[in-house]
Structure 1
Amino acid sequence: MKSIVVRRSLLALSLVAVIAGCSKEPAAPSTDTAAASAAQTAGALPEGWQRVVGVDVPDIEGATQQLPAQVTSDDGVATTVTDTSKIIAGGDDIIAVLEALGLDDQVYAAPLRSATASGRKAPQQFLFNRTTGVEGVLSLQGTLFLGNSLRRHSDLAAKLRGAGEAAVIVDDLQPAADKVRKVAAAVGMAEQGDALATKVQSQLDAAKASGAALAWHPRVIHVSATGAGGAPTVAGSDSASGKLITLAGGINIGDEAGVANYSALSNEGVVAAAPDVILVTENDLALFGGQAGLWRAYPTLRQTPAGAANRVWVMPDVELKSASVASGSGAVALAAAFATVPRP
């Protein structure tokens, strides 16, 4: 028990050092090498690395929409949606639900560097953040704005409504099943959304049971190429991935450190965290610049138990980084993978 307390203290102190600017931070990933690493990310992984991928992401086929749809946005505004032919989607979590509902062709504008197929092929690519201007979104001439963050999109949604454009927010900080239901209801497919959400929740429950039955619980660090002004980050307790790791039976090191959302962690903090597993998503691996870029961004990862064992797992972004329709499938796969980690 004493060693656990010491480990947590070291990790917390390392985080304080980062915030105070008194400790060396990991190097920011090079965007110049991201494109070159895309082939590696999509194809063969470095020797010893492993893909963890869910095999049963639920979807609906042949369903029809019922419009207009009357819904209450997460910012409390009652909204009537009459046209979803050109959806401006605020994030991959939203797009993943639309794909599962068979509405791929209605994703008209998506965030830059989208991890979903529909997002990448959307006619318009756009930067969505807290400072996104209403004029820029209106210029896209969409028919519905589906935001995914009360923090980033509330003001924008209010201004869009004032200009006559329908806007609904489904906040990212809520359970995956709830999010699936709300997105589906906003596009006139509430019944289908209930069916999808039920499947997702069933998968999450199964993963939770498997995680609870593990003989031991490996320590996990989920590293991201973005989240702290472009610097590499680790997943905190309120992130979708942090919650998924815990549900599947892992110990998320961001929880122990009290990290919020995605926050920078010093090289010393990485060593103190002593993860048994390194998790990275496909998109982030490309942004890091592949294997070399990941080690360059977090050189001390190699000094951890996970680094020494070369235990790096790569997951689809929508199965780890977003609470959405693929979360249950990702959680089941992650719990099964945790069961294979040898106890130290």
Structure 2
Amino acid sequence: MRRAVPVAAAVLALAAFPALADPHPEARRIVAIGGSVTEFIYAMGQQDRLVARDTTSYMPPEAMALPDVGYMRQLSAEGVLSVRPDLIIAEEGAGPPETVALLKSSGIPYEEIPSGASPGGVMAKAEAVAAVLAAPDPGVVAALKADLDAAAAAAAAVDEPMRVLFALSLQGGRVLASGSGTEAEAIIEMAGGQNAVTSFQGYKPLTDEAVIAAAPDVILMMDRGDGVIDLDAQRAELLGLPAIASTPAGKAGRVIRMNGLYLLGFGPRTGKAALDLHRALYGDG
């Protein structure tokens, strides 16, 4: 099982982003791009400085009252600049690249926050947001580290990791599953589980043969909690697939659902999410 990056590596990860050295304590009209960035800003008590957020920023619920400038990977420069920001804080990966180039050339400070699906990566993200805000940190970074350390201890105590299949969605009777190098794999391992599918990178639909070979003990899925998807119907459809029904997870009806941003956002709640997933897998605590 791949080992998580130690939390201490956050210092090295942060050093790779020299643009974060210049804080903006005077900024009062901030646009936040990326759900975890927005969560960190709220957790650090700086939400009064926000004037807009992107579509992925739906937590905490109060953030939904802010104007939405679009999906973080499909932004328009006009949409972001229309709210007259004096600072843009965006998670690495925002785009498209031409829009980011326009925003960076607009004269508005643009700070890119490092992404990272690991304990060290999420710590680097927290430190980066705190540095850009140049505001007192009300214990957010310390609390995050404590949660991550607790999750790491729980994971280390697991003798026989459960095989977890992360199913992003169902498409035409096939499971769109997480392979290697994904946020889903990272949180599964942080919780003491083992990714059941490692034969490819990213996400791909699985053949019936691949599902059977994966032999998951548990199937993990996301839940946005917005009522758009009938969860009971989706669960029944999933467990009704012959290939899934033949696996240990299918035979036991073991399907775990967790909020998508909580599970995969790698924000201030990541340590708690890993612990919650660990308890769901192993029944500890």
* Cα deviations by residue, 1:253-304 (Å, 9 ceiling, x for unpaired): 24x22322x4443444333322111222221785543221355478343443
Q: Could you tell me which amino acid in structure 2 is paired with residue 281 of structure 1?
A: M
Contact preservation (8 Å) 1:83, 1:144: no
| 1:290 maps to 2:235 | no
Output the CA distance in 2 between the equivalents of 1:294 and 1:338: 17
Structure 1 residues 111, 73: closer, same or farther in 2, change over 3 A? farther
Contact preservation (8 Å) 2:38, 2:57: no
SS of alignment partner, residue 166 of structure 2: strand
SS of alignment partner, residue 192 of structure 1: coil
| 1:203 maps to 2:147 | yes
Displacement of 1:196: 2.3
Q: Could you tell me which amino acid in structure 2 is paired with residue 274 of structure 1?
A: A
Output the CA distance in 2 between the equivalents of 1:232 and 1:109: 35
Structure 1 match to 2:65? 122
Structure 1 match to 2:266? 323
Structure 2 match to 1:178? 124
SS of alignment partner, residue 124 of structure 1: coil
SS of alignment partner, residue 94 of structure 1: helix
Structure 2 match to 1:48? none
Structure 1 residues 295, 138: closer, same or farther in 2, change over 3 A? farther
Contact preservation (8 Å) 1:97, 1:183: yes
Q: Could you tell me which amino acid in structure 2 is paired with residue 325 of structure 1?
A: P
Q: Could you tell me which amino acid in structure 1 is paired with residue 142 of structure 2?
A: T
* Cα deviations by residue, 1:97-118 (Å, 9 ceiling, x for unpaired): 1121123344432333644134
Structure 1 match to 2:28? 85
SS of alignment partner, residue 99 of structure 2: helix
Output the CA distance in 1 between the equivalents of 2:96 and 2:175: 24
Q: Of 116, 137, 153, which aligns to 1:192?
A: 137
Matches within 5 A, 1:209-248: 209-225=153-169, 233-248=176-191
Output the CA distance in 2 between the equivalents of 1:119 and 1:267: 42
What is the CA RMSD across the aligned residues, in angstroms?
3.3
Q: Which ranges of structure 2 fall in alignment gaps of 5 or more residues?
A: 1-13
Q: Could you tell me which amino acid in structure 1 is paired with residue 151 of structure 2?
A: A
Structure 1 match to 2:212? 271
Output the CA distance in 2 between the equivalents of 1:167 and 1:314: 35
TM-score by length of 1: 0.65
Structure 1 residues 81, 264: closer, same or farther in 2, change over 3 A? farther
Structure 2 match to 1:142? 85
Structure 1 match to 2:247? 304
* Cα deviations by residue, 1:55-91 (Å, 9 ceiling, x for unpaired): xxxxxxxxxxxxxxxx999484765525543332222
Contact preservation (8 Å) 1:210, 1:336: no
294-303 vs 144-153, which moves further: 294-303
Structure 1 residues 177, 313: closer, same or farther in 2, change over 3 A? same
| 1:258 maps to 2:200 | yes
Contact preservation (8 Å) 2:222, 2:257: yes
SS of alignment partner, residue 65 of structure 2: coil
SS of alignment partner, residue 95 of structure 2: helix
SS of alignment partner, residue 135 of structure 1: helix
Output the CA distance in 1 between the equivalents of 2:75 and 2:52: 14
Structure with the bigger RCO (C-alpha within 8 Å, sep 6+) is 1
Structure 1 residues 306, 72: closer, same or farther in 2, change over 3 A? same
Q: Could you tell me which amino acid in structure 1 is paired with residue 132 of structure 2?
A: A
Q: Could you tell me which amino acid in structure 2 is paired with residue 197 of structure 1?
A: V
* Cα deviations by residue, 1:166-217 (Å, 9 ceiling, x for unpaired): 211113235111111111211122x517x42232223222222221212311
SS of alignment partner, residue 81 of structure 1: coil
Output the CA distance in 1 between the equivalents of 2:190 and 2:123: 14
Structure 1 match to 2:55? 112
Displacement of 1:313: 1.6
Structure 1 residues 202, 87: closer, same or farther in 2, change over 3 A? same
TM-score by length of 2: 0.77
302-311 vs 77-86, which moves further: 77-86
